[in-house]
Amino acid sequence: MVEIRSPSVRRGWSESVRARASEIVKQYPEPRSAVMPLLYLAMAEEGYLTDNGMREVAGAVGLTPAQVRAVASFYTMYKRENPGRYLISCCTSISCMLLGSDEVLRAIEDESDVTAGETDPAELISVEHVECIGACGGAPAVTVNYELIEGMTTEKARELVRWLRTARPEAIVGAECQELFGGRRSFDWGAFDRDSALGPYPAFGPLGTVSGPAGDQEG
C-alpha cells in the first residue's frame, strides 16, 4: 500500500496528549524507557505510526526522530502503514498449524478478499498472519485488534469477517467475540471482562493506548 503523506501536514499533539505523555515518562527512571508506551500513544492518536507521531515521541523523550524510527521498526506491532479499522491476526505457528490454522487463514482471506499483509480499499479490514500468540491450548486462534478468539473453525472465521463487515462494531470486546465466534479455550477465562479495543492496537489504557469502558464484570 502506498502511503501518501504531505510534508505540510504537521498536526502536533494536543496539550492533553502531551500531558499524558509526560505522565508516562515520569513512570521511568530514564525518559528513553518511555519510547515504547509513547509509540502506542502515537498510534492511538493517529490510527497508526506517522512521521509526525514519531517526531512527537522523539521530542517527549529527548531523542531524534531517526532514533525513534529505529526502535519502532524493530517491533511488529508498531504499524507504519494505516491498517484497517479491524486488524485480524491469524496465528499460524506450530500448535495452531497442527489444528488447521492455515485453512482458517485461507477462509479469512477468501471471505474478506484481503491477502495476509494487506488492507481492503475501504480501510475496514486488515489481515495478517502472526507467530505464536500464546493461545495454543485453544488452537487455532485469531485476534481482532489484539482481542483474542480461541477455538476457531473455518466457518466461524467466515462468520467473523461477515460480522465485522455488516455490524461494524464501534469497539471490539474480546469476551463478546469469544462468545460469538470462539470455541475451546486454552483455559477457563473466569469472569469475562468487558474491556474493549477501539482501534487496531492493544487496548491498555495506562500505557497511553485507548482503553474501553471500565470493566463491567460478569460472574
Partner 1 sequence: MSVRSIVTDRMTRHPSDSHTLDRYLGTGGYRALAKALEMPPDEVTGEVKAANLRGRGGAGFPCGVKWSFLAPAKPAYVVVNGDESEPGTFKDRQLMERDPHQMLEGTIITSYANGANHAFIYIRGEYPRSARRVQQAVEEAYAAGYLGSDILGSGYNLEVTVHLGAGAYICGEETGLLNSLEGRRGEPRLKPPYYPAAKGLYMQPTIVNNVETLANIPWIIENGGEAFAAIGPDGSRGTRLFSISGHVRRPGNYELVMGLTWRELIYDVAGGIPEDRALKCWIPGGASAPWFVPDDHLDLPVTLDDTAKAGSMLGSGAVVIMDETTCTVRATERLVRFFAHESCGQCTPCREGCSWLERILRRIEEGSGREVDVDMLLDISDNISPGLAWPPRMTTICPLGPSAVSPILAITSYFKDELMAHIHQGGCPFD
Three-class DSSP category at 39: helix
What are all long-range contacts of 202-207, with beta carbons under 8 Å and residues at least 24 apart?
202/40, 202/77, 202/145, 202/146, 203/145, 203/146, 203/147, 204/40, 207/24, 207/37, 207/40, 207/41
Q: How far is the CB of 85 from partner 1 (least distance, A)?
A: 17
Q: Which is nearer to partner 1, 7 or 190 (CB)?
A: 190
DSSP element (H, E) containing 196: strand 196-197
Q: How far is the CB of 101 from partner 1 (least distance, A)?
A: 10
Cβ distance 178 to 205 under 8 Å? no
Name which of 30, 27, 29, 39 is nearest 65 in CA terms.
39
Q: How far is the CB of 42 from partner 1 (least distance, A)?
A: 12
Q: Which is nearer to partner 1, 135 or 152 (CB)?
A: 135
Q: Which is nearer to partner 1, 17 or 71 (CB)?
A: 71
Q: Integer distance in angstroms from the first to the last C-alpha of the chain? A: 44
Q: How far is the CB of 64 from partner 1 (least distance, A)?
A: 13
Q: How far is the CB of 167 from partner 1 (least distance, A)?
A: 21
Q: Which is nearer to partner 1, 12 or 205 (CB)?
A: 205
Q: Which is nearer to partner 1, 132 or 180 (CB)?
A: 132
Q: Which residues here bind partner 1, judged by CB under 8 A?
A: 27-30, 32-37, 39-40, 61, 63, 70-71, 74-78, 92-95, 97-99, 130-139, 143, 146-148, 174, 184, 186-191, 193, 195, 197, 202-207, 211, 215, 219
Cβ distance 91 to 99 under 8 Å? no
